[in-house]
A = this chain, B = another copy of it.
């Protein structure tokens, strides 16, 4: 056994989170794509069956009350809250990330007031945020200005209404400094909107502690909610009364069953709701969040960094020099829970890795992306993935 393989065994033995793997349905594949679609938590199939057969099939319409369907968006929001450092009552689940970006940005611009005519958006963002930001700017009569996160400080001014940033870059895995960027946005009098898709469930976010104004995120990556499970929206408590939604559906009305012609927004996180929630996807997510029972995000973060450190070390040892190059920062403070490797023939290499049971993904044009979900990825997985990668790129 190689030195790295025996190191992996020792690390797995000492891993306090190793037992969590049993909470998921996994096989002998090394699954490093949980940053795209989290693995299936073992308790989800039974829960979904109950929702379909009993709650829908037997109770039918009564389930809106009796099975707690109506209040699911807030209840599940409160379940996500501790994972992103938020007190209860500030997160609501529903709609896609894109739709929530639209709600958040338009509401942010309205909070900032008429005098501020510019929206800043991360120019390196996952594209949907940029497309939606462009629409939000167009529909609120503002100008959209794409800037790199490094340029945000100098781009901020009295014109800035809102800034939309990613906590972790989807491509490179770079972690941005949420506390200091939020503070800079606030110093300019603007509203900070954060996209947590690639950080929530992988590392501490501290929304309340750092005074974030609005945030959105998906739930199918490190939160393992299932394909296309609903996204969430965080609105800081003291801003909720000023949250003026561009999508004021009946679910966000103060009295939704009053069927009143005039819109009057509900108080609290409920104000972020729109239409009827997609109950099957939403209650699968609720079950998936139960895997977090007794798990601290700090412990997850510590293991995540150990996994990515070890992966980089193994890649360095197993891969011919110069064949791949990490575009993920080496510094812990700048690294999310993934490693992105630049590789000329990345598309082809990823196909061969998947054939050999190592699943990551490919991002155009030349990036191999490996996500590390500390709840179910171990150190032996990491060693094997790097070894297979080394053999693949050498072969």
Question: What residues on B are CB-neighbors of A357 within 8 Å?
Answer: none
Question: What residues on B are CB-neighbors of A98 within 8 Å?
Answer: 247, 249-251, 274-275
Question: What residues on B are CB-neighbors of A253 within 8 Å?
Answer: 127, 131
A69 within 8 Å of B by Cβ? Answer: yes
Interface members, chain A 15-70 (any B CB < 8 Å): 25, 27, 31, 33, 36-37, 39-40, 44-45, 48-49, 52-53, 55-58, 60-61, 63-64, 69
Closest residue on chain B to residue A67 by CB atoms = B227
**Is A135 touching B39 in the complex (CB atoms < 8 A)?**
no
A77 within 8 Å of B by Cβ? Answer: no
**Is B96 touching A127 in the complex (CB atoms < 8 A)?**
no
Closest residue on chain B to residue A140 by CB atoms = B139
Number of interface residues of A (CB under 8 A): 79
User: A69, A97, A228 — which one has the most chain B CB atoms within 10 A of its CB?
Assistant: A228
Interface members, chain A 121-140 (any B CB < 8 Å): 123, 126-128, 130-132, 134-135, 139-140
How far is B63's CA from A48's CA once the two chains are assembled, in angstroms?
Answer: 19
**Is B228 touching A132 in the complex (CB atoms < 8 A)?**
no
**Is A60 touching B37 in the complex (CB atoms < 8 A)?**
yes
Question: What residues on B are CB-neighbors of A191 within 8 Å?
Answer: none
Number of copies of this protein chain within its complex: 2
User: Residue A364 contacts which of B259, B284, B364 (CB distance < 8 angstroms)?
Assistant: B259
**Is B131 touching A263 in the complex (CB atoms < 8 A)?**
yes
List, sorted by A's number, 10 A–B pairs whose CB atoms are closer than 8 Å.
Answer: A37-B64, A40-B56, A48-B48, A64-B227, A96-B276, A98-B251, A99-B275, A171-B259, A231-B275, A257-B364
Question: What residues on B are CB-neighbors of A49 within 8 Å?
Answer: 45, 48-49
